[in-house]
């Protein structure tokens, strides 16, 4: 079965403050750890292999989901935001609003100063997916928002000029199948929240 289930890491203090993380190795916050502990991976995925970004917040999320020894993959790291890491989007827009808007309007070719573009994230993800052997599948992928967006772009052709064809909600997992060397959407927004108990 050639399926991949993508999950974004839990919250960090930088997430909570609206700060751009990129490759900055920020761990889960205390509240982020508590949140991930409240998630439940559906039983059908619990026996799958796990691949994980090397960044601490992703590895901690994988461990809290029950994957103690995931295979670490550099290509699953967050988009590199270069000189913009640690800033908020509001502060960056305030420096030169017109220049920032022109950059945002480049879609897949948007590029932070000293960083990489979404197109480059998509390319490294596609290369990694194409390298997978069926023997290691199906698998859970614990990664980052930029990688989730890259997977959706690969599967749907979304060019990032406009809103995504489907909103990727949190906390959710997103299931894809591999067809040849490409991803195809099977089911988005699989809730990780534990079901509410009836009174």
Known catalytic residue at 9: yes
Is 78 one of the catalytic residues?
yes
Q: Check: CB of residue 116 under 8 Å from CB of residue 80.
A: yes
For the entire predicted model, the pTM comes to 0.94
Considering the chain, what is the average pLDDT of its residues?
Answer: 94
Domain boundaries, the chain: 3-191
Q: What pLDDT score was predicted for residue 99?
A: 84
Its CATH architecture, for the domain 3-191, is 3-Layer(aba) Sandwich (3.40)
In the block, tokens 């990688």 appear at 147
Pick the catalytic residue from 9, 80, 144, 174. Answer: 9
pLDDT > 90 fraction of the chain, expressed in percent and rounded: 85
Please classify residue 170 by burial: count the beta carbons closer than 10 Å to its beta carbon, then call 0-12 exposed, 13-18 middle and 19+ buried: middle
Tell me which of 16, 35, 78, 135 is the catalytic residue.
Answer: 78
Number of H helices, E strands in the chain: 7, 6
Segment 82-125, tens digit of pLDDT: 999 999 999 998 988 898 889 989 999 999 999 999 999 999 99
Helix%, strand%, coil% for the chain, nearest 5 = 40, 20, 40
């Amino acid at each position: 079965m050639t399926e991949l289930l993508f999950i974004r890491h839990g919250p960090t203090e930088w997430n909570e403050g609206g700060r751009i993380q990129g490759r900055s190795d920020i761990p889960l916050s205390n509240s982020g750890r508590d949140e991930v502990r409240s998630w439940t991976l559906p039983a059908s995925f619990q026996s799958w292999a796990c691949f994980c970004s090397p960044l601490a917040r992703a590895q901690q999320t994988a461990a809290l989901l029950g994957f103690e020894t995931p295979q670490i993959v550099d290509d699953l790291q967050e988009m590199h935001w270069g000189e913009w890491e640690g800033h908020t989007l509001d502060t960056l827009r305030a420096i030169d609003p017109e220049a920032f808007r022109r950059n945002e309007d480049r879609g897949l070719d948007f590029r932070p100063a000293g960083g990489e573009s979404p197109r480059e994230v998509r390319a490294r993800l596609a290369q990694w997916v194409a390298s997978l052997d069926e023997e290691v599948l199906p698998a859970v992928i614990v990664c980052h928002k930029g990688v989730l967006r890259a997977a959706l772009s690969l599967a749907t052709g979304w060019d990032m000029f406009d809103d995504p064809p489907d909103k990727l909600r949190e906390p959710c997992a997103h299931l894809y199948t591999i067809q040849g060397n490409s991803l195809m959407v099977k089911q988005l927004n699989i809730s990780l929240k534990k079901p509410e108990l009836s009174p």
